[in-house]
Structure 1
């Protein structure tokens, strides 16, 4: 997990790290955690793919796994110990979506705007 966060932060141009680094590290943490918990099977030697790219005024992060499930927002009770990851993604990202991969698996894609929030 920490390796994924570090790689994403280090991939950003230096001038964008202060503005986008924390948000992208948090998105990375949540999406990779979900991929590990829900999208991979240890018996398969499943891999998680992480892609980061700038486009359309955003930095986009895609986290893909071999799972067939479709992640969805949950609304856990106040006593629940988990289930809030995608709520955090939903609040942090300007846009996000879930896509089936052409051959096998699922990708969650989230975008952080290059401009600062007001």
Structure 2
């Protein structure tokens, strides 16, 4: 009989700056207790960066828009998808030392085993990133 996969965790948060903190706590708390010492800090930082980027660059502040998160385990990783209603494509940049922003995807790139940007079927964009169950191995 095949192993039945876990149901992915799913959240929706308003496109508001305080949502990054709430999303970070929700995602970290959803990890199994045994994995929190290994993944908690990294997945919290990954969540904060992706949600902050989605709010800043993918949502229209004049509308009541939401940021969606999905977290699921597969293939030895926890995968996090952060989706926003925007149509832009996040790109990795290398800001100079004096820049005050622009380093979010550099953090994502250094933390995640793999990450990508995908258009959503109806409207918006998703950034998907994976962290291995055990860091460094």
Indicate the TM-score class for this superposition, using the shorter chain for normalisation: over 0.9
In structure 2, the partner of 1:50 is: 69
Deviation at 1:40, TM superposition (A): 0.2
Deviation, 1:116, is 2.6
Q: Which has the larger radius of gyration?
A: 2
CA drift of 1:115 comes to 2.3
Report if the CA contact (8 A) 2:93-2:103 is conserved.
Answer: yes
Question: What is the TM-score with the length of structure 2 in the denominator?
Answer: 0.84
Look up the SS of the partner of 1:32 in the other structure.
helix
Moved over 2 A (4+): none
Whether 2:133 is the aligned partner of 1:114: answer yes
What is the CA deviation profile of residues 4-35 of structure 1, one whole-angstrom value per residue up to 9, with x for unaligned ones? 11100110001000000000000000000000
Q: Distance in 2 between matches of 1:24 and 1:59?
A: 9
- Paired residue total: 118
> Could you tell me which residue of structure 2 aligns to residue 84 of structure 1?
103
CA–CA distance in 2 between the matches of 1:30 and 1:67? 16
Q: Flag the structure with higher helix content.
A: 1
* 2:99 paired with 1:96: no
TM-aligned CA deviation for residue 70 of structure 1: 0.1
Deviation at 1:78, TM superposition (A): 1.1
Aligned partners of 2:39 and 2:134 also within 8 Å: no
Quote the offset at 1:89 in angstroms.
Answer: 0.3
Unaligned 5+ residue runs, structure 2?
1-19
